Amino acid sequence: MLDELVAWAEIDLDAIAFNVQGFTQYVGDRVEVIAVVKANAYGHGAVMCAKAALAAGATRLAVHRLGEGIELRQAGIEAQILVLGYIPPSGMQTLVDWRLTPALMTPECAQALSSRAEAAGLAVPVHVEVDTGLNRYGLTPADVATFVCYLRGLPALQVEGLYTHFATADWGDQVYVHQQLEEFDAVLEALHASGQEMPFIHVGNSAGAMKLRRAHFHAIRPGISLYGMDPSNEWPAVFPLQPALTLKSRVSRVWDLPVGAAVSYGRTFIARQPTRAALVLVGYGDGYHRILSNRGSVLVHGQRAPILGRICMDQMVVDVGMIPGVQQNDEVVLVGRQGESVLPAEEVAGLAETINYEITTSLLPRITRVYLQAGKIVHVDGY
CA atoms within 13 A of residue 186's CA, in its CB half-sphere: 13
Task: Examine the pLDDT at 3 and tell me if it is beyond 90.
Answer: no
What distance in Å separates the CA atoms of residue 210 and residue 212, rounded to the nearest whole number? Answer: 6
Structural domain boundaries of the chain? Answer: 13-227, 245-352
**How many Cβ atoms from other residues are within 10 Å of residue 277's Cβ?**
22
Closest CA to 284 of 271, 306, 302, 265: 265
Sequence-ordered list of residues with C-beta below 8 angstroms from that of 294, at least 6 positions apart, any chain: 268, 269, 307, 308, 309, 310
Q: List, for residues 333-364, the tens digit of each pLDDT value.
A: 999 999 999 999 999 999 999 999 999 999 99
Instruction: Tell whether the torsion through CA atoms of 256, 261, 262 and 264 is positive or negative.
Output: negative
What distance in Å separates the CA atoms of residue 20 and residue 70, rounded to the nearest whole number? Answer: 23
Q: Are 129 and 138 in contact (CB under 8 A)?
A: yes
Instruction: Tell whether the torsion through CA atoms of 165, 167, 170 and 176 is positive or negative.
Output: negative
What's residue 2's pLDDT?
Answer: 82
Q: List, for residues 317-330, the tens digit of each pLDDT value.
A: 999 999 999 999 99
Place 383 in a pLDDT band, splitting at 50, 70 and 90.
confident
Task: Examine the pLDDT at 36 and tell me if it is beyond 90.
Answer: yes
**How many Cβ atoms from other residues are within 10 Å of residue 226's Cβ?**
31
- 23, 242, 299 from 59: Cα distances, Å: 12, 21, 37
Q: List, for residues 7-23, the tens digit of each pLDDT value.
A: 999 999 999 999 999 99
Mean pLDDT of 98-102: 98
Closest CA to 127 of 206, 62, 204: 62
Mean pLDDT for the chain?
97
Q: Are 56 and 72 in contact (CB under 8 A)?
A: no
Task: Examine the pLDDT at 122 and tell me if it is beyond 90.
Answer: yes
Share of the chain above pLDDT 70, in %: 100
Following CA atoms 230, 234, 239, 244 in sequence, which dihedral angle do they give, to the nearest 10 degrees? 10
The 8-class DSSP code of residue 139 comes to B
Active-site amino acid positions: 38, 265
Amino acid at 287: G
Amino acid at 261: A
Q: List, for residues 271-292, the tens digit of each pLDDT value.
A: 999 999 999 999 999 999 999 9
Q: List, for residues 170-218, the tens digit of each pLDDT value.
A: 999 999 999 999 999 999 999 999 999 999 999 999 999 999 999 999 9
Pairing of β 200-202 and β 157-163: parallel
Task: Examine the pLDDT at 112 and tell me if it is beyond 90.
Answer: yes
What distance in Å separates the CA atoms of residue 203 and residue 209, rounded to the nearest whole number? Answer: 8
Class of domain 13-227: alpha beta
Mean pLDDT of 41-60: 98
What's residue 8's pLDDT?
Answer: 98
Q: Which fold has domain 245-352?
A: Lyase, Ornithine Decarboxylase; Chain A, domain 1 (2.40.37)
Does 13-227 match 245-352 in CATH topology?
Answer: no
- 12, 157, 168, 182, 288 from 178: Cα distances, Å: 35, 32, 10, 6, 37
- 5, 194, 292, 360 from 278: Cα distances, Å: 18, 68, 16, 24
CA atoms within 13 A of residue 37's CA, in its CB half-sphere: 32
What distance in Å separates the CA atoms of residue 175 and residue 306, rounded to the nearest whole number? Answer: 41
Task: Examine the pLDDT at 1 and tell me if it is beyond 80.
Answer: no
Share of the chain above pLDDT 90, in %: 99
How many residues does this entry show for the chain? 383
Predicted TM-score (pTM) of the model is: 0.96
Task: Supply the Cα-derived Rg of the chain in whole angstroms.
Answer: 24
**How many Cβ atoms from other residues are within 10 Å of residue 239's Cβ?**
13
What distance in Å separates the CA atoms of residue 278 and residue 192, rounded to the nearest whole number? Answer: 65
Mean pLDDT of 28-56: 98
